[in-house]
Amino acid sequence: MTALLEVTELRVSFPAGTGRSWPVDGVSLHIDRGELLALVGESGSGKSLTSLAMLRLIPPPGRIEPGSGIRLGELDILSLDDKTLREVRGRRIGMVFQDPMTSLNPVFTVGDQIAEGIRAHFPVSRREARDRSLALLTEVGIPDPASRLRSYPHQMSGGMRQRVMIAMALACEPDLLIADEPTTALDVTVQAQILEILDALRKKRGMSVLLITHDLGIVAGRADRVLVMYAGQIVEEAPTERLFQRPSHPYTQGLLASVPRLTGPRTRLTPIGGAVPTPDAWPGGCRFRPRCPQAFDKSELPPPPLPVEPGHTMRCWLAEPEGL
Amino acid sequence: MTAPLLQVNNLVKHYHSTGLFRAGPVVRAVDGVSFEVGRGETLALVGESGCGKSTVGRTVLRLQEPTGGSVEFDGESVFTLGREALRRLRRRMQIIFQDPFSSLNPRMTIGKAVAEGIEIHQLARGKAVRQRVATLLEEVGLDPAFMGRYPHEFSGGQRQRIGIARALAVEPTFLVCDEPVSALDVSVQAQVLNLLMDLQAKHGLSYLFIAHDLAVVRQIAHRVAVMYLGRLVETGPTESVLSDPRHPYTQALLSAVPEPDPSRQRQRIILEGDIPSPANPPSGCAFHTRCFHHLKDARCSAEAPVLRPIHSTLAACHYGEVLPQMVQDARNVPAT
């Protein structure tokens, strides 16, 4: 498989006190064509900033540091002029956010908003844009789509609004859809609907999806590959089945032990001690060291991504044969 | 067996929405709910947003006035108490919220916030107040040295601990926990769940635990009550409800819980549509518009089912006995 998007040594910085802090600090990843890649992390891990950087949407005074690389096929995103960048946003990479209400304009109908996106990227008539909007609403499973085109966002439920957001993101047939916590604000039964739709659309259109979430549960059984983020870095990467069978980084192990289960014996949860550090105070050496039950002498040095087995890496010295 | 600590009978809470020129429809947020909570027991009240579960919690404490029904707390009738008696009772019934930040005064140090209840109910004076606050903070896993700090200086998990310390300050026997871990990161969520369970074991507390996540509920609750559109659709011991649910809605809720284990993917039941509006609930069984039961018929839309014993739970479904069992391991079963 060929990589659709490739990120190398991405660093995002924000002013902090007299200096700067690096909430994203050396992230390298690639997304293959047709792949569903999950980026998992707790709040403050840097997962959302990583995805915003892919579209150069980091809000000032934050900035992408020199030395970072983001390539979409033949395009070098970081050196694009504004016009080409606008064509990439929406047309090549679509985005869906957690809270559809704040991403939709309250004073325009849903139909107008979808059509606006289509007409911004394709030379089509109003009528054609409307027909496409209708087809999209049908595709994302909105009942009675013709009348829904004339609805305003506030007239719809959270689940319906999120479907509209997906329809808008799909309108320009992007190669990559970035979904940032797309179901976090929704009820579980609605969450299940939205995840099914995303998965079905990906398969049908051969689109790649980057799913950003804090919930390991929605990753299992859906994603092809998982990246676990902690304190601005990717600490573990593995194919999904493998990650759940053999979580290797102590942070991933800790996360999985923290999640209550519906099956298996009911035992006391074993949470990770302490709290997630903030970007202005990343610990030295291995960033998980202060909370890690398996920390040892070498953890005082920052570990690079080390191979656990082919396709499975982690930023932990335990991956070294002599570390075990 | 001793009488339950809390007994709720046929609780009703209707809201009269106001239109611009005329009265709007009546919103039946809670429409005849009965349950009890034993001493030292956790009852989880589960459902999706808008089902009325939070309204039940608030009405039981009379933070909102009920439309009908009765609540007995340790032999006292909560809905008929006068102001002074109600204030005394509130010392024994407390609540913790989903978002502890919005329930803490940003200009009050957390020491003062925790001390407030102790002073109002005159449980201690002078230096003893400070001593008690320190003990409480320690008990919920916070450093008593933080007493002089303000809420914004704490993380979400720490704020929830402050909320718990504040509730415990007046030595209650009963706590309404309204989605106390929903806003927390998973690793912190586990810490708070363990804390709540430890406090229960130590003080013999009873919890009405309001939640939407059945995996969290399994961890903490002895019994479960599932709500849909203002009514209970199923209730029973946690393991019975989770292993052999007899109401189709309970099955759908269960199937929707994402399990972080690819080898244990349950049967996927994808419900159609959204929850109907409680201002205009469907006739008969309120769930019939989204129900996937193979025997669903005219009776379901005409006659509201009542909670009745089916297998090892109480379920409100006309055809609960013949609802197929959920496939717990659906790896080789095509999705429905």
Residue B216: which of A254, A260, A276 has the nearest Cβ? A260
User: What digits encode the pLDDT tens for the residues A54-64?
Assistant: 999 999 999 99
Residue A208 has pLDDT above 80, yes or no: yes
Arithmetic mean of pLDDT, A14-26: 93
Residues 6+ apart with CB under 8 A from B257: A188, A217, A262, B213, B214, B215
Per-residue pLDDT, A308: 95
Per-residue pLDDT, A81: 95
Arithmetic mean of pLDDT, B278-305: 93
**Residues facing B231 on adjacent strands:** B228
Residues 6+ apart with CB under 8 A from A203: none
Count of A–B CB contacts within 8 Å? 130
Residues in B touching A241 (Cβ below 8 Å):
262
- Is the domain of B304 the same as that of B206? yes
Arithmetic mean of pLDDT, B16-45: 88
Q: Which residue of A has its CA nearest to B271?
A: A189
Number of domains in chain B: 2
The angle that helices A188-205 and B248-256 make with each other, rounded to 10 degrees, is 60
**What is chain B's mean pLDDT, rounded?**
90
Residues in A touching B224 (Cβ below 8 Å):
none
Q: Among B146, B171, B196, which residue terminates a domain?
A: B171
**Is B257's CB within 8 Å of A217's CB?**
yes
Residue A269: which of B194, B257, B270 has the nearest Cβ? B194
Residues in B touching A259 (Cβ below 8 Å):
186, 190, 215, 260
Are the beta carbons of A244 and B260 closer than 8 angstroms? Answer: yes
Residue B97 located in a structural domain: no
Q: Among B131, B149, B171, which residue terminates a domain?
A: B171
Per-residue burial over A47-71, b = 16 or more CB atoms within 10 Å of its CB, e = otherwise: bbbbbbbbbeebeeebbbeeebebb
Arithmetic mean of pLDDT, B323-335: 62
Residue B335 has pLDDT above 60, yes or no: no
Does the complex come out with an ipTM higher than 0.85? no
Arithmetic mean of pLDDT, A66-94: 93
**Is A272's CB within 8 Å of B187's CB?**
yes
**Is A220's CB within 8 Å of B258's CB?**
yes
- Is the domain of B293 the same as that of B222? yes
**Is B259's CB within 8 Å of A276's CB?**
no
- Is the domain of B296 the same as that of B308? yes
- Is the domain of B304 the same as that of B188? yes
Residue of A222, A225, A269 to mutate when probing chain B, most B C-beta within 10 A: A269
User: What digits encode the pLDDT tens for the residues A157-175?
Assistant: 888 888 899 999 988 889 9
Per-residue pLDDT, B336: 38
Instruction: State residue B322 phi and psi, 5-degree precision.
Output: -105, 15
- Is the domain of B147 the same as that of B281? no
User: What digits encode the pLDDT tens for the residues A270-303?
Assistant: 999 888 888 988 999 999 999 999 999 999 999 9
User: What is the biggest distance separating any 2 CA atoms in chain B, rounded to whole angstroms?
Assistant: 68
The alpha-carbon gap from A93 to the nearest alpha carbon of chain B, in Å, equals: 27
Residue A263: which of B158, B216, B264 has the nearest Cβ? B264
Residue B186: which of A190, A218, A259 has the nearest Cβ? A259
d(CA A144, CA A155): 14
The alpha-carbon gap from A304 to the nearest alpha carbon of chain B, in Å, equals: 24
Kind and range of the H or E element at B93? strand B93-96
What range defines the domain where residue B192 resides?
6-92+172-331
Cα B291 → chain centroid? 24
Residue B80 located in a structural domain: yes
**What is chain A's mean pLDDT, rounded?**
91
Arithmetic mean of pLDDT, B319-334: 71
Arithmetic mean of pLDDT, B181-186: 85
- Is the domain of B60 the same as that of B194? yes
Residues in B touching A191 (Cβ below 8 Å):
256, 258
Residues 6+ apart with CB under 8 A from B298: none
Residue B205 located in a structural domain: yes
CATH number of the domain at B33, please. 3.40.50.300
Arithmetic mean of pLDDT, B177-201: 91
Arithmetic mean of pLDDT, A83-94: 91
Residue B145 located in a structural domain: yes
Arithmetic mean of pLDDT, B203-223: 95
Residue B22's pLDDT band (cuts 50, 70, 90): confident
Q: Which residue of A has its CA nearest to B268?
A: A192
**Is A271's CB within 8 Å of B253's CB?**
no
Alpha-helical segments (H) within chain A = 47-54, 82-91, 100-103, 110-121, 126-139, 145-148, 158-170, 188-205, 216-219, 240-245, 250-258
Residue B1 located in a structural domain: no
- Give me the percent of chain B exceeding a pLDDT of 70: 95
Q: Among B171, B192, B221, which residue terminates a domain?
A: B171
The more confident residue out of B41 and A156 is: B41
Residue B292 located in a structural domain: yes
Per-residue pLDDT, A278: 87
A218 touching chain B per CB within 8 A? yes
Residue B153 located in a structural domain: yes
Per-residue pLDDT, A142: 86
Residue B98 located in a structural domain: no
Residue A268: which of B194, B260, B268 has the nearest Cβ? B194
Residue A90's pLDDT band (cuts 50, 70, 90): confident
Residue A242 has pLDDT above 70, yes or no: yes
User: What digits encode the pLDDT tens for the residues B34-56?
Assistant: 999 999 999 999 998 889 999 99
Residue B256's pLDDT band (cuts 50, 70, 90): confident
- Is the domain of B145 the same as that of B259? no
Residues in B touching A262 (Cβ below 8 Å):
214-215, 218, 242, 254, 257, 259, 266
- Is the domain of B65 the same as that of B181? yes
Arithmetic mean of pLDDT, A216-242: 94
Residues in A touching B268 (Cβ below 8 Å):
192, 196
Residue A177 has pLDDT above 60, yes or no: yes
**Is B270's CB within 8 Å of A196's CB?**
yes
User: What digits encode the pLDDT tens for the residues B306-316?
Assistant: 999 999 999 99
Tokens 């590959």: give the residue. Answer: A225
**Is A261's CB within 8 Å of B256's CB?**
no
- Is the domain of B159 the same as that of B249? no
The more confident residue out of A138 and B336 is: A138
Q: Which residue of B has its CA nearest to A144?
A: B273
d(CA B45, CA B217): 9
Residue B333's pLDDT band (cuts 50, 70, 90): very low
Residue B332 has pLDDT above 60, yes or no: no
Arithmetic mean of pLDDT, A230-244: 96
**Which segment, A246-250, B182-186, B265-269, B328-332, is predicted with the most confidence on average?**
A246-250
Residue B21's pLDDT band (cuts 50, 70, 90): confident
- Is the domain of B52 the same as that of B138? no
Residues in A touching B101 (Cβ below 8 Å):
none
Residue A42: which of B187, B252, B258 has the nearest Cβ? B187
Residues in B touching A256 (Cβ below 8 Å):
260
Arithmetic mean of pLDDT, A186-212: 89
A29 touching chain B per CB within 8 A? no
User: What digits encode the pLDDT tens for the residues B86-96?
Assistant: 999 999 999 99
- Is the domain of B133 the same as that of B14? no
- Is the domain of B132 the same as that of B245? no
Arithmetic mean of pLDDT, B206-210: 98
Per-residue pLDDT, B222: 97
Per-residue pLDDT, B11: 97
Per-residue pLDDT, B277: 84
